[in-house]
């Protein structure tokens, strides 16, 4: 099993590699560090084995050297060059070819420190990838194994896939699993905020009961986070340094494809920790 890492020799590339190393150490898997070049770039030999890659030889070798410097000795990693019309297209093709269970990229370089903005590459992946996508916030440097998974649970289509992925990953590696129900409260005078919170607690506890049957005692917890909006609800939560959030794709997504809805975009912009978005009916991090 391999994970694909979208790499460019810049801060975003380093962020992506750091997160990929942390997940690989947690899951016991290898990494394909993928450097995407334009389709019309000249072909040059990457190494004596005769592998071919697009771009000038010096550019490729420099990227390879910089990428592999970031990989610890205990993590299996291979540097690969992919020719494609776009960075996102190259990563998806590389992931499908390798049978990868995850594509890891860095957040947009314009984002605030340890926060997200969705750049063009992330946007393309989050609306087309058949493979789960992990996003590292800007400035992410942690490479130690993950310590806790947080799964956002809801009642819409797509939430079940994310819940199952998080549950299986936590069970396989003995991680803490936090199940979070987000409630954005309507502040109108005629709204029933209390009922919304009560309903969220009922749903969250039913999901917790199910998770408790598959995890050791004390490994799963449930939290209902609420605020005047999604951003405020996110800010009310505590976060571990070794945390990873798992969230499902929008119900509008095509079969086995990602589609990031409006709520997920709000969550993404507010998170201070990495996030994985899971397509509907895809195993993702389960193995």
CATH number assigned to the domain comprising residue 65: 3.40.50.620
Return the pLDDT at 198. 61
Give CA–CA dist 130/152, Å, rounded.
20
**Same domain assignment for residues 95 and 64:** yes
Return the pLDDT at 45. 52
**Same domain assignment for residues 11 and 128:** yes
Query: Which range, of 103-117, 182-196, 221-235, 258-272, averages the lowest pLDDT?
Result: 182-196
The answer, yes or no, to whether residue 105 has pLDDT greater than 50, is: yes
Return the pLDDT at 115. 54
Question: Residue 142 falls within a domain, yes or no?
Answer: no
pLDDT in tens, 17-76: 999 999 999 999 999 999 998 776 655 555 555 555 434 678 888 999 999 999 999 999
Indicate the pTM of the whole model: 0.82
**Same domain assignment for residues 187 and 216:** yes
**Same domain assignment for residues 130 and 225:** no
- Per-state percent for the chain, helix, strand, coil, to nearest 5: 35, 25, 40
Return the pLDDT at 253. 44
Give CA–CA dist 198/231, Å, rounded.
20
**Same domain assignment for residues 203 and 106:** no
Query: Which token pair is 156?
Result: 């819409």
The answer, yes or no, to whether residue 280 has pLDDT greater than 70, is: no
Range of the domain at 162: 148-286
């Amino acid at each position: 099993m391999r994970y694909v890492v979208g790499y460019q020799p810049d801060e975003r590339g380093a962020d992506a590699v750091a997160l990929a190393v942390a997940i690989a150490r947690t899951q016991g898997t290898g990494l394909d560090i993928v450097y995407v070049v334009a389709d019309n770039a000249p072909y040059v030999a990457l190494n004596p084995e005769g592998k071919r890659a697009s771009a000038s030889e010096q550019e490729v070798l420099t990227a390879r050297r910089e990428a592999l410097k970031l990989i610890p000795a205990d993590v299996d990693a291979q540097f690969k060059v992919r020719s494609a019309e776009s960075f996102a297209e190259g990563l998806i093709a590389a992931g499908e070819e390798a049978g990868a269970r995850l594509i890891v990229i860095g957040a947009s370089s314009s984002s605030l420190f340890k926060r997200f903005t969705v750049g063009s590459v992330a946007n393309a992946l989050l609306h087309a990838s058949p493979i789960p996508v992990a996003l590292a916030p800007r400035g992410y440097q942690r490479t130690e194994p993950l310590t806790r998974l947080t799964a956002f649970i809801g009642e819409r289509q797509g939430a079940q896939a994310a819940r199952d992925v998080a549950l299986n990953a936590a069970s396989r590696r003995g991680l803490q699993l936090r199940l979070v129900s987000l409630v954005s409260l309507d502040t109108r005078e005629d709204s029933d905020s209390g009922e919304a919170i009560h309903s969220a607690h009922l749903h969250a506890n039913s999901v917790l009961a199910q998770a408790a049957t598959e995890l050791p005692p004390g490994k799963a917890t449930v939290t209902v986070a609420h605020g005047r909006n999604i951003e405020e609800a996110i800010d009310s939560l505590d976060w571990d340094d070794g945390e990873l959030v798992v969230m499902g794709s929008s119900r509008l997504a095509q079969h086995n494809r990602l589609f990031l809805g409006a709520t997920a975009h709000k969550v993404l912009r507010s998170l201070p920790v990495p996030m994985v978005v899971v397509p509907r009916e895809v195993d993702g991090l389960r193995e």
